[in-house]
Amino acid sequence: MTLANPSDFNGSLQPQGWLRYFSFSLDHKVIGLQYLVCGFVFYLIGGALAGAIRTELATPLSDFMPRDTYNEVLTLHGTVMIFLWIVPVVNGAFGNYLIPFYVGARDMAFPRLNAVAFWLIPPAGILLISSYFIAGAAAQSGWTAYPPLSLTTPAAGQVVWILSVLLLGGSSIFGGINFIATILKLRRPGLKLMQLPMYCWAMLGTSILVVLSTPVLAGTLILLSFDIIAHTGFFNPALGGNVVVYQHLFWFYSHPAVYIMVLPAFGLVSEILPVHARKPLFGYTTMVYSIMAIVFLGLIVWAHHMFTSGTPPWMRLFFTIATSFIAVPTGIKFFNWLATLWGGKIALNSAMLFSCAFIVNFVFGGITGVALAQVPFDIHVHDTYFVVGHFHYIVYGGTVFVIFGSLYHWYPKFTGRLLNEDLGRLHFLLTFIGFNLCFAPQHWLGLNGMPRRVAEYDPTFTTLNQVSSVGALLMAISTLPLLINVVVTAINGKVAGDNPWNALTPEWLTSSPPPVENWIGEAPLVTEPYGYGQHQEVPQEVQA
């Protein structure tokens, strides 16, 4: 088959230079960077909201902002971080940039759908944030929007929230379809599935979850909006509705959403570790099977978010067992990464520091996760700060650390310049210390009686809350060296060359930044993306 050549439709009509990042570009590399920068802007907004939360919680009294504002802030913080930062960046940004390279294609399978998927995000994000200013009151029922609370809080803000999440869910589904089609159908002739870099498998698994579960969330939120606007009674107990059904439907998406956020991170780490340890990825086949096992198990564990809800004993038991077993395929991946490092020649640069810290943080979050899966344990700490600590170890300590590591790893490919290592190490140190200071004490707070989503708390919890707030401040400061680094090195950073890490995966076998067609001439056939140590000289020539 003839591969679509982007220069055909990306030709003279498209703006050149930096303007193409503000255009309806069909180039997967431009779209990937659009996702990345847009996501980072929302990360700063979500981070500012987190700063407001930690400022309120620096004192036991509700004295920093009005109580309903606090609920708006925590709702927006969760929604922004999940739907506008982590999901778009770890899937959309790196997926769009890397997947066509990895399968040997010149673009994604559906370039126009791809551009539509990205351009749904800025309006949805602006809509969400503006609800705070325009609709009078933004949604204040948490990112979970449980009815009946979401039916009784100011309706306009809640409806805008639903609309925004629907747009973002649509964007996610478009992206998922595109990734599945690209990975399965656009592979370069001669390239077998089991020769693909691990990130492809991670994105295939993630996209299956996106396509299966996101429509359920969309349907649920549409029903919820009917309840708010048309006063139907799907989830309104006053009209015979059932509030627990909403929770089942919501978590049928929102638990897989955790894997939609962490599986791509697993994939990215699997790319970074072999390059900087100069060793093949350990246990490729078991890695692939464990991704697929996580995808399957991820779909049948949702009710562990509902152990204290209206759930009968048998259901509590089933979901305990199913959830616990996710630890097995996840454990395989961590042991395989350790084995990848063992006996390597490790360069401990910023990309590696963030990747290794990811292992530490995620193992911690995984262990508290297995504990939370046990019904008797969960009944005490459910909906407390223990859970807040746990999931921040997963999504921040896990995924966000990987996003930063990936930025240091692929920035030379994106721009042709290397990020400054000293600033990178400073960024890492501030992030790692700030993160652990912020979230580790929260486990103790939860165990000892502090529920989540509160603006005020028992004064005995003051000290640890202040430690947590100091950690949050460090995390805020940690973005400064990153921002300085990105801006300064883009202008006069060290020139990277095509392949500064001597990596073997296909995105490095072209210029930095790559041409619109990805490769001049035919796409290289890379059958051993992790073939380190086999032939000591790195293949520089592009194979025909």
Partner 1 sequence: MPIRTVLTIIAATTALVLTGLWVGNNVNILPLDASSNAPTYDALFKVLFSIGTVLFLGIVILLVYSLFRFRRPSGDLSDGLAIEGNLPLEIVWTAIPAIVVLFVGIYSYDIYERMGGMVNLNDHSAMAHAAMEPQARVWGGIGGAGMDAAPTGAVLPVEVTAMQFAFIFHYPDANITSGELHVPTGQPVELHMEARDVIHAFWVPQFRLKQDVIPGQPTVLSFTATKAGSYPIVCAELCGPYHGGMRSTVVVHEPEAYATWLQQNSPASTTT
| Between 89 and 145, CB nearer to partner 1 | 145
Query: Minimum distance between the CB of residue 541 and partner 1, rounded to whole angstroms?
Result: 18
Task: Kindly state whether residue 359 participates in binding partner 1, applying the rule CB under 8 A.
Answer: yes
Task: Kindly state whether residue 279 participates in binding partner 1, applying the rule CB under 8 A.
Answer: yes
- Footprint of partner 1 on residues 136-155 (CB under 8 A)? 140-142, 146, 148-149, 152-153
SS (H, E, C) 416-474: CEECCHHHHHHHHHHHHHHHHHHHHHHHHHHHCCCECCCCCCCHHHHHHHHHHHHHHHH
- Footprint of partner 1 on residues 495-514 (CB under 8 A)? 502
Near partner 1 by CB under 8 A: residue from 180, 277, 394, 474? 277
- Footprint of partner 1 on residues 391-430 (CB under 8 A)? none
| Between 285 and 540, CB nearer to partner 1 | 285
Task: Kindly state whether residue 304 participates in binding partner 1, applying the rule CB under 8 A.
Answer: no
CA-based end-to-end distance of the chain: 17
Helix, strand, or coil (residue 384):
strand
Task: Kindly state whether residue 356 participates in binding partner 1, applying the rule CB under 8 A.
Answer: yes
With residue 486 as reference, give the H or E element that holds it: helix 462-492
Burial classification of residue 326, based on how many CB atoms lie within 10 Å of its CB (0-12 exposed, 13-18 middle, 19 or more buried): buried
Give per-residue burial for 383-419: e unless 16+ CB within 10 Å, then b: ebbbbbbbbbbbbbbbbbbbbbbbbbbbbbbbbbbbb
- Footprint of partner 1 on residues 329-348 (CB under 8 A)? 331-332, 334-336, 338-339, 341-348
| Between 179 and 337, CB nearer to partner 1 | 337
Report how many residues bind partner 1 under the rule CB under 8 A: 96
Query: Minimum distance between the CB of residue 304 and partner 1, rounded to whole angstroms?
Result: 12
Task: Kindly state whether residue 242 participates in binding partner 1, applying the rule CB under 8 A.
Answer: yes
Q: How far is CA 145 from CA 79, 148, 251, 387, 423, in A?
A: 10, 9, 11, 18, 40
CA 394 to centroid of chain Cα atoms: 10
| Between 24 and 146, CB nearer to partner 1 | 146
| Between 47 and 241, CB nearer to partner 1 | 241
Task: Kindly state whether residue 300 participates in binding partner 1, applying the rule CB under 8 A.
Answer: no
Near partner 1 by CB under 8 A: residue from 453, 467, 476, 525? 453
φ, ψ of residue 417 to 5 degrees: the values are: -130, 150
- Footprint of partner 1 on residues 34-93 (CB under 8 A)? 62, 66-68, 70-71
Q: How far is CA 349 from CA 266, 399, 425, in A?
A: 19, 18, 8
The rounded distance, in Å, linking the Cα atoms of 55 and 75 is 16
Q: Residue 479 carries which side chain, given as an amino acid letter? A: T
Query: Minimum distance between the CB of residue 436 and partner 1, rounded to whole angstroms?
Result: 12
| Between 396 and 457, CB nearer to partner 1 | 457
| Between 24 and 453, CB nearer to partner 1 | 453
Task: Kindly state whether residue 441 participates in binding partner 1, applying the rule CB under 8 A.
Answer: no
